[in-house]
Amino acid sequence: MTVHRILIIDDEDDIREVAALSLEATADWTVYTASCGRDGIDVALEQKPEAILMDVMMPEMDGPTTFKQMQQIPAIAGIPVVLLTAKVQGVDQRRFAGLGVAAVLFKPFDPLTLAAQISEVLGWQD
């Protein structure tokens, strides 16, 4: 089983914690976390995760803005980003898809299947 390295960027402590625990417990992945987009960029540069799971709605710098900034930094521009959102309207989905993110997953997520969902959208075969 491959030990993947993933960064979770979410301003809600409980969401970040549940996601991290679920990925560590169900898939044995190495998880890094950040509570805002700016910190997330720093952690991504430092840790070079294989993927980033990022909340859409965050204060100061939201997920799409953070993603756009990451695309300007060659060292991390190639890291696939999966957005996590509670917004399920079609117009939002199309806007997110237009950004060039790898996928959009919806809150509330199932902690038991989160790793499988991420693996599936990123094409990770374990």
And the tokens for 28?
């044995």
The mean of the pLDDT values for the chain is: 92
All structural domains of the chain with their residue ranges:
5-122
State the Cα–Cα distance between residues 31 and 6, nearest whole angstrom: 5
Q: List, for residues 58-113, the tens digit of each pLDDT value.
A: 999 999 999 999 999 999 999 999 999 887 666 666 777 778 999 989 889 999 99
Q: Give yes or no for a contact between 122 and 102, defined as CB atoms under 8 angstroms apart.
A: yes
Q: Give yes or no for a contact between 35 and 10, defined as CB atoms under 8 angstroms apart.
A: yes
The CATH class for the domain spanning 5-122 reads alpha beta
Q: Which of 81, 115, 99, 112 is nearest to 7 (CA)?
A: 81
Neighbours of 38 (CB within 10 A): 15
